[in-house]
Structure 1
Amino acid sequence: MGAAQSSADEFVREPLGVQERITADGSSPWPVEAGRYRLVAARACPWANRIVITRRLLGLEPVLSMGIAGPLHDERSWRFHNDPGNVDPVLGIEYLRTAYEKAVPGYDKGVTVPAMVEVASGKVVTNAYRELEFDLSTQWTALHRAGAPDLWPVEHRDEIAAISDEVFHDVNNGVYKCGFAKGQRSYEKAYDALFARLDALSSRLSTQRYLVGDTITQADIRLWVTLVRFDAAYHGHFKCNRQKLTELPVLWAYARDLFQTPGFGDTIDFAQIKQHYYGVHTEINPTGIVPEGPDVSGWLTEHGRESLGGRPFGRGTPPGPPPAGEQVPPLT
Structure 2
Amino acid sequence: MTLLPAVPDGPGGEHSALRPLYEASAHRYAGAAVAPVLSDDWSGRIVSTHAPDIMRDLARRFGGERPPLYPKGMEAEIEAVGHLCEQGINATAQRAGRADADDAERDSALGSLLRTLRSLEGRLARQDYLLGDRLTAADIELWVSLVQLDTVHRWHLDASAVHRVADHPALWAYARRLAGDPAFGAHLDLDGIARRHHAHCRGLEAAGAAVQIVEWAAHAPDRTASRQG
- TM-score calculated relative to the size of structure 1: 0.56
The Cα shift of 1:214 comes to 0.3
| CA distance 1:95–1:136, shift in 2 (3 Å) | closer
The Cα shift of 1:236 comes to 1.1
Q: Which runs of 5+ in 2 are unaligned?
A: 225-229
Task: Name 1:107's counterpart in structure 2.
Answer: 29
For residue 253 of structure 1, give the secondary structure of its aligned residue in structure 2: helix
Task: Name 1:66's counterpart in structure 2.
Answer: 2
Q: How well do the aligned residues superpose, as a CA RMSD in angstroms?
A: 3.3
Task: Name 1:277's counterpart in structure 2.
Answer: 197
What is the CA–CA distance in structure 2 between the aligned matches of 1:108 and 1:188, rounded to whole Å?
A: 39
* 1:282-293 mapped onto 2 (5 Å cutoff): 283-284=202-203
Equivalent in 110, 117, 123 of residue 198 of structure 1 = 117
Q: Would you say the 8 A contact 2:188–2:221 is kept in 1? A: yes
Equivalent in 168, 179, 183 of residue 263 of structure 1 = 183
Equivalent in 129, 136, 140 of residue 58 of structure 2 = 136
Q: Would you say the 8 A contact 2:21–2:46 is kept in 1? A: yes
The Cα shift of 1:285 comes to 5.6
Task: Name 1:164's counterpart in structure 2.
Answer: 82
Task: Name 2:222's counterpart in structure 1.
Answer: 329
What is the CA–CA distance in structure 2 between the aligned matches of 1:198 and 1:274, rounded to whole Å?
A: 24
What is the CA–CA distance in structure 1 between the aligned matches of 2:151 and 2:210, rounded to whole Å?
A: 10
The Cα shift of 1:100 comes to 2.0
Task: Name 2:227's counterpart in structure 1.
Answer: none
Equivalent in 101, 121, 128 of residue 209 of structure 1 = 128
Q: Which has the higher contact order (CA 8 A, sep 6+)?
A: 1
| CA distance 1:175–1:98, shift in 2 (3 Å) | farther
* 1:37-186 mapped onto 2 (5 Å cutoff): 65-75=1-11, 77-79=13-15, 94-109=16-31, 111-138=33-60, 140=61, 143-145=62-64, 147-179=65-97, 182-184=100-102, 185-186=104-105
Identity of aligned residues (%): 26
1:50-101 per-position Cα deviation (integer Å, ceiling 9, x unaligned): xxxxxxxxxxxxxxx232233254415344xxxxxxxxxxxxxx44344323
| CA distance 1:161–1:120, shift in 2 (3 Å) | closer
Per residue, is there more helix in 1 or in 2?
Answer: 2
Q: Which runs of 5+ in 1 are unaligned?
A: 1-64, 80-93, 302-326
The Cα shift of 1:128 comes to 0.8
The Cα shift of 1:123 comes to 3.2
| CA distance 1:125–1:298, shift in 2 (3 Å) | closer
The Cα shift of 1:118 comes to 2.9
Per residue, is there more strand in 1 or in 2?
Answer: 1
What is the CA–CA distance in structure 2 between the aligned matches of 1:292 and 1:101, rounded to whole Å?
A: 44
What is the CA–CA distance in structure 2 between the aligned matches of 1:117 and 1:233, rounded to whole Å?
A: 30
Equivalent in 229, 237, 245 of residue 148 of structure 2 = 229
What is the CA–CA distance in structure 2 between the aligned matches of 1:101 and 1:231, rounded to whole Å?
A: 37
Amino acid at match of 2:7: P
Q: Would you say the 8 A contact 1:172–1:223 is kept in 2? A: no
What is the CA–CA distance in structure 1 between the aligned matches of 2:30 and 2:36, rounded to whole Å?
A: 17
Q: Would you say the 8 A contact 2:14–2:32 is kept in 1? A: no
What is the CA–CA distance in structure 2 between the aligned matches of 1:221 and 1:119, rounded to whole Å?
A: 27
| CA distance 1:69–1:293, shift in 2 (3 Å) | farther
Q: Would you say the 8 A contact 1:172–1:226 is kept in 2? A: yes
1:83-129 per-position Cα deviation (integer Å, ceiling 9, x unaligned): xxxxxxxxxxx443443233223434554322113335543331111
Amino acid at match of 2:169: P
What is the CA–CA distance in structure 1 between the aligned matches of 2:44 and 2:139, rounded to whole Å?
A: 32
What is the CA–CA distance in structure 2 between the aligned matches of 1:298 and 1:212, rounded to whole Å?
A: 24
What is the CA–CA distance in structure 2 between the aligned matches of 1:274 and 1:72, rounded to whole Å?
A: 13
Q: Would you say the 8 A contact 1:202–1:251 is kept in 2? A: yes
The number of residues matched between the two structures is: 218
| CA distance 1:266–1:193, shift in 2 (3 Å) | same
Amino acid at match of 1:169: Q
Mean Cα deviation higher: 215-224 or 292-301: 292-301
Q: Would you say the 8 A contact 2:59–2:68 is kept in 1? A: yes
